[in-house]
Structure 1
């Protein structure tokens, strides 16, 4: 049985957590099943956040759809930002016969899927908001545990390949989710149910076939709330590489989210497509992105490990993403969006695959075995933009009279800025 939160917190390790390396067939199985799990999770996020929720919200109040979507993203992301590092820290301190991470993966998937399916049955914006926040909290409790498995169970020198496969799965999932949701947008209950069932089944299977060894208890220390909360502050003066990695991730997602959040509305109000055509167009663009990002993710991960370099790949990926966002300003039609889709696939695929490996290598060297907590903090560099970017976008649209070109300009500034943040990192080549 999984321990209660106070029991888990009381077992604070006084030395680094034991390594749980895998090899041979078990390692290959773990790598591919982890890739599949992230594929399904990202498909869920992209399909729900990029297509299903925007359509549902627009039906409730077409005149205020952009503002309501921004509010949903902001509220959800506040909870997600708080949940991710706390869940990561708690998973570091969880001791069960099923290991540290597995209970969080299983519980998060099941609770999240129940709440997600409930969203499909709601008939008001307020009820959708409440249930989606519940689902997001559950999924964000699961995600840091899954991410930390890379640091737990794969040697550092192989993480580029592993991250490349996982990154390919994530980016392919973003595309697949958009395609599926785009074509099933008219069958809301079926679409939500498909995503909810897929992530639940995938995570149950993952936990069963990749049995995590039990983590032995260490001598417990007295739990102090102040000490626990203080541990979430990582001094950028003592850990500058961690701070720069956080800043780079934060800025690139500020730019990326500004476009991804409103892509359906961009196709409708900037490109000029009807509602039905916009839903199929977003699926078509996702297919273009798919081919580019899969090749980019796997190739970047392989080359990064072969050359033992991370920074150049992240730097170039940021530049490619910035160029992608320039194209719709020059060609505000479907041709421009198709070029955007191809370039964003190349850049984002490379960025996601190498960024994950980079993150595991800039973690502070502590004695507490806090990998889950620290990776959770780095994940907030994605969650915080989900709060700020849609709000920023809504304000810019309001001030500019719904001129979506302004969003592309803001996104370009942030994404190009991200490329500069990787240069000062010293501990990773």
Structure 2
């Protein structure tokens, strides 16, 4: 006589009454394996030949294109579209454009603070025929695109803030699982080149976003919002279709527990010190970098004293210069990092280069200094973004067993500065009434980021 008792989709006991003791002992011996944390989903390695190599190239192109467009969207909206739209609204209704922009960015950052690691953790547990990451990437970009299109129609600060919050939350819910794709599919020793291409795509996309944003802002601001709203969904969908993820329906997973789910977001810096140093280094780097990026348009207008139309043009020229330098820097540094199997020296040196870039406008208050700054920033930031991602994947706890969640936690180091820098910049300007103090603070943060990478031990 036999019967089955099902306890969960992953676990069941098959009892034979005549041999119950033997079966019970066998099931107990397998219990630890049944509840062991699931390993990261594996794909064809980079080193494969023939079709495996083609799949890797297709994956790299798909992921790079997706990141490029996503970063282009972010930079165009944050650095050009929103400042222009805020200025239009405040000029019509009254108000301080700097203070209003600071409030908007603070509210958005509060809502997006934890959504990347949350989406990453949920994607780790997602079981579907489309895989773990694809449903989040496609769904997030669709909702984000619709909300972004609505931003274009807003004539009040409340409406603008509301729809940008929805768009930012949805897009970040897609970005967390998107970031987890790198440790999912690329073996560790090859991540320098992969990270180099993705870093070049990110920085190149961000620069192209500013170029395009500055160009279209003088023509049709709403069309710019529509372009990115439709484009981000189309690019993400095409990326997932051309680079299909394996089904995750058969992957095991631990029983769900709300307490365990939320406590896992805390990664102890004492237990995983390298993860802590990497997080801190990225945090202060983006604190310094984003401070200048977020106020770049107002720096051109209020510090360099350019007109609205001229500043929209110059910001595009700066972005073009930066684009050329960062693509060269990202690809070359990624190749050298893999060849030498070194990460830390590249991240440290790139941070110092970026800090030196801010010295030019600090001591020369003219257009030429801003153009020089753009070129030097491109050189340093391209190297930093290409190697920093590879370094981050090598300090993940438990060798990336929960890559979606952990990469999302690391991305808080990108998001938190975005929440801080705009009100921080407004505070610095209110106290000092000078953008010189903003540059000095940015230099200090970027140099500090280089110092925080030095103690990392598990990565050369």
Per-residue CA deviations over 1:327-375 (Å, capped at 9, x if unaligned) read: 1111110011011000100011000000000000000116x93110000
Paired residue for 2:395? 362
> Mean alpha-carbon deviation: is it higher for 215-224 or for 296-305?
215-224
Residue 20 (structure 1) shift:
2.0
Matched-pair contact (CA < 8 Å) for 1:13–1:218: no
Paired residue for 1:58? 87
Paired residue for 1:422? 453
2:408 is the counterpart of 1:408: no
Give me the CA root mean square deviation.
1.6
Paired residue for 2:118? 86
Matched-pair contact (CA < 8 Å) for 2:297–2:315: yes
State the structure with more CA Rg: 2
* Residues 122 and 304 of structure 1, relative CA distance in 2, 3 Å threshold: same
Paired residue for 1:328? 361
Per-residue CA deviations over 1:153-197 (Å, capped at 9, x if unaligned) read: 111111110010010111110110001110100301111111112
Matched-pair contact (CA < 8 Å) for 1:313–1:351: yes
2:40 is the counterpart of 1:17: yes
Q: Secondary structure at the match of 2:42?
A: coil
Q: Secondary structure at the match of 1:248?
A: helix
- The number of aligned residues is 419
2:217 is the counterpart of 1:188: no
Distance in 2 separating the partners of 1:319 and 1:221:
44
Paired residue for 1:42? 71
Residue 223 (structure 1) shift:
2.3
Distance in 1 separating the partners of 2:53 and 2:255:
40
Paired residue for 1:270? 303
Distance in 2 separating the partners of 1:356 and 1:21:
21
2:371 is the counterpart of 1:346: no
Distance in 1 separating the partners of 2:140 and 2:151:
17
Q: Secondary structure at the match of 1:19?
A: coil
2:247 is the counterpart of 1:224: no
* Residues 219 and 47 of structure 1, relative CA distance in 2, 3 Å threshold: closer
Per-residue CA deviations over 1:249-298 (Å, capped at 9, x if unaligned) read: 00000100110000000000000001111111100100010110000000
Which structure would you say has the larger RCO, counting Cα contacts within 8 Å and 6 or more residues apart?
1
Distance in 1 separating the partners of 2:292 and 2:43:
39
Matched-pair contact (CA < 8 Å) for 1:14–1:218: no
Paired residue for 1:214? 247
Paired residue for 1:27? 56
Structure 2 stretches of 5 or more lacking a match?
A: 1-8, 10-33, 46-51
Paired residue for 2:211? 179
Residue 21 (structure 1) shift:
2.8
Distance in 1 separating the partners of 2:199 and 2:347:
13
TM-score (norm 2): 0.89
Paired residue for 1:133? 165
Structure 1 stretches of 5 or more lacking a match?
A: 1-6
Paired residue for 1:315? 348
Paired residue for 2:127? 95
Matched-pair contact (CA < 8 Å) for 1:13–1:369: no
> Mean alpha-carbon deviation: is it higher for 222-231 or for 374-383?
222-231
Matched-pair contact (CA < 8 Å) for 2:40–2:403: no
2:365 is the counterpart of 1:337: no
Paired residue for 2:152? 120
* Residues 340 and 99 of structure 1, relative CA distance in 2, 3 Å threshold: same
Paired residue for 1:3? none
Paired residue for 2:175? 143
Distance in 1 separating the partners of 2:103 and 2:455:
35
Matched-pair contact (CA < 8 Å) for 2:38–2:252: no
Paired residue for 1:74? 106
Per-residue CA deviations over 1:186-244 (Å, capped at 9, x if unaligned) read: 30111111111211110010111111110144555442211111111111111000000
> Mean alpha-carbon deviation: is it higher for 258-267 or for 184-193?
184-193
Distance in 1 separating the partners of 2:254 and 2:415:
31
Paired residue for 2:275? 242
Matched-pair contact (CA < 8 Å) for 1:13–1:93: no
Distance in 2 separating the partners of 1:410 and 1:358:
26
Per-residue CA deviations over 1:45-103 (Å, capped at 9, x if unaligned) read: 01010000000001111441111111111111112111011001001000000000000
Distance in 1 separating the partners of 2:307 and 2:143:
36
* Residues 285 and 55 of structure 1, relative CA distance in 2, 3 Å threshold: same
Q: Secondary structure at the match of 1:61?
A: helix
* Residues 237 and 56 of structure 1, relative CA distance in 2, 3 Å threshold: same
Paired residue for 1:282? 315
